[in-house]
Amino acid sequence: MYDRTIRRRRLTLAALLACSLLLLTVYFGESTGGALHNVQRGVFSVFAPIQEGASTVLKPARDLFGWFGDTIDAKGRVAELESSNQSLRTRAIAGSEAIRINGQLEALLNLDKAGGLALAKPVTARVIGQSPTALYSTVTINQGSDTGIKTGNPVINGYGLIGQVSTVTAHAAIVTLISDGELAVPARISAGGAQGIAQTGAGGPDDLRLKFIARRYRVDPGAAVVTAGTLSTTPGLESLYPPGIPIGSVTRVVDPGTDAQKIYLRTYADLQKLELVQVLTSAVRGNRP
Amino acid sequence: MSLDYRSLSWRLALICVVTVVFQVAAVSQVKVLGVNADLVPLVAASVGLILGSLPGAIFGFALGMLLDLALVETVGVASLILLGIGYAAGRLRELRDPQGAIVPLLVGAGATAAAQVGFLLLTFLLGQKVPLGWSLVWDLLGTVAFNAVIAIPLYLLVRRCLIAALPQDPRRRRRRAYTTGGLSPLSKS
């Protein structure tokens, strides 16, 4: 009896292990239209409304715990903010230069005016889920293909670009955030016009970089980085991102003026606190500047 | 008192769905000092600790499968990791039968660390980009610490959900030697 129990336990464990490995193999081997992917989309379609309902119901509890988290975070940042406040006050007194830069940033952040994004048929959506691990930088939104959302559509919030739609079902979609290393966005320095690729580096979600900037361009910390739009004149090579969407600002430059220069960015959007986003469902003039 | 398999199955299925929904819709979106809790390995380990290795492994597999399907992530990754966690927690109970009040905390922290490292390794082995860096280390350690804090209340909650369907009250069980044949409370039925 005891031996039989042990044998049954081992057999079941082996079967489950084999099943997991088989699923992994099949999932990687098939195309995105394969059976397993279809089942996954089906389950996601069923799950998304439940997730949306739960997200709404649990919002007060989330806000309450979020408040505790924010309070702890805020206490930890008091010294940093005091120093920052002093610096900002000095800059404000300095006068016109700060006001001019501030005006430029405000103009950049005012997406509708600066980018004419109303023509890109934006669809407003609410974030209803977020991946629990740092390895998957995705959020789930409550709008899908029935409102015109397609895979590859850029996604923004009030501060700038946050990512791109990677999976769509009828009523929900998964957005891969710009903090995911798989995403590469054609970008340029707003002031100087230097063009490159914004992509998260090997250091993880906080390691967003602007790559492939020629050494002849001087890039200073604080410079605003925006999407470059379509640079190629060849048909079929249009960028997914309209030009002029703010991405972030340069935080530091390592080895400036060399071929190995590394330009680090910080996104304008706080990717850990996303609530309302807009999906740009249509490209205007092939996303050319 | 006999084991009510139907009641136990329903309870486990409910725990599975509620865990995934609650994790994705709420817990993942609440960050303290930049990290968030991960209920999934805690629940898998709790079920293993309460029910034994075989139910723990099956529950972990199902929980992982639902998580992968609901988050549209690589199917099989979470199943593989969580079935290991459920099984290991169950074996710990069967071999050592630990009685200390701090056991769920230690098992929870261990399960979380195993899950985080497991996800990292599998992601790396599958050829996807792994964001190595201090922020990842901070995230891993922070999640382990956060999970350790909530491990005991979560274990008690899971036990409370399952206790009515078990053949005996685990609170009253006595320490048993490995050779007595008691693999899990389910084998008593």
HSE (side-chain half, CA atoms, 13 Å) at A24: 19
| B35 occurs within a structural domain | yes
For residue A222, being part of any structural domain is answered with yes
For residue B117, is it within any domain? yes
Q: What is the ipTM of this complex?
A: 0.79
pLDDT digit string (tens) for B112-122?
999 999 988 88
- A283-to-A114, A185, A187, A277, A279 alpha-carbon distances in Å: 16, 15, 17, 18, 11
In a domain, B172, yes or no: no
Which structural domain range is residue A222 located in? 184-267
Q: Two tokens at A232?
A: 């190629």
Please determine, for residue B175, whether its predicted confidence score (pLDDT) is greater than 80. Answer: no
Based on the structure, what is the number of domains in chain A? 1
Residues of A in contact with B120 (CB under 8 A): 135
**Does the beta carbon of B83 lie under 8 angstroms from any beta carbon of chain A?**
yes
Can you tell me the mean pLDDT for B26-55?
87
What is the C-alpha separation between A236 and A98, in angstroms, rounded? 42
Q: CA-nearest residue of chain B to A28?
A: B74
With respect to residue A144, please indicate whether it lies within any of the assigned structural domains: no
**CA pair distance A277, A126, nearest whole angstrom:** 6
DSSP string, A224-276: EEEE------STT---SS-TT-EEEEEEEEESTTSTT-EEEEEESS-TTS--E
- Domain extent, residue B50, equals 5-167
DSSP assignments along chain B, one per residue: ----HHHHHHHHHHHHHHHHHHHHHTGGG--BTTB---HHHHHHHHHHHHH-HHHHHHHHHHHHHHHHHHTT--TTHHHHHHHHHHHHHHHHHHHH----TTHHHHHHHHHHHHHHHHHHHHHHHTT-----SHHHHHHHHHHHHHHHHHHHHHHHHHHHHHGGGSSS-GGGPPP--GGG----GGGG-
**Amino acid A105: pLDDT:** 41
Q: Which helix (H) or strand (E) holds A157?
A: strand A154-157
pLDDT value, residue A60: 80
> Which long-range contacts link B103-107 to residues 24+ away (Cβ below 8 Å)?
B103/B49, B104/B45, B104/B46, B104/B49, B104/B151, B104/B152, B104/B154, B104/B155, B104/B156, B105/B148, B105/B151, B105/B152, B107/B45, B107/B49, B107/B151
Which pLDDT band, with edges at 50, 70 and 90, does B40 fall under? Answer: very high
Domains identified in chain B, total number: 1
Is the pLDDT assigned to residue B168 strictly greater than 70? no
pLDDT at A203: 66
Write the CATH number for A199: 2.40.10.350
**CATH number for the domain harbouring residue B141:** 1.10.1760.20
Q: Does residue B59 form part of some domain?
A: yes
pLDDT of residue A65: 74
- Residue among A24, A43, A47 whose CB faces B74 most closely: A24
Put simply, the answer to whether B73 touches A131 (Cβ < 8 Å) is: yes
What residue of A is the nearest CA neighbor of B119? A135
Residue B177 has pLDDT above 50, yes or no: no
Any domain includes A207 = yes
Q: In this model, does residue B169 exceed pLDDT 60?
A: no
When CB atoms are compared, the residue of A16, A27, A131 closest to B57 is A16
Does residue A210 form part of some domain?
A: yes
Q: Which residue has the higher pLDDT, A169 or B1?
A: A169
* B71-130 confidence digits (pLDDT tens): 888 889 999 999 999 999 999 988 887 878 889 999 999 999 999 999 888 888 887 776
Query: What percent of chain B lies above the pLDDT cut of 90?
Result: 46
Distance from CA of B107 to the nearest CA of A (A): 20
Option in B29, B66, B139 nearest A130 (CB): B29
Per-residue pLDDT 10s for chain A (289 aa) are 667 878 888 899 999 999 999 998 898 888 888 888 888 888 888 888 888 888 887 778 777 777 777 777 777 777 777 887 877 777 767 765 456 445 544 543 465 555 667 677 888 888 888 877 766 688 999 999 999 999 999 999 888 899 999 999 999 999 999 988 888 999 998 887 788 999 987 766 667 888 888 888 888 888 899 998 887 777 777 788 988 888 999 998 888 888 788 899 999 888 887 888 889 998 877 777 6
Contact check, Cβ <8 Å, B80/A58 = no
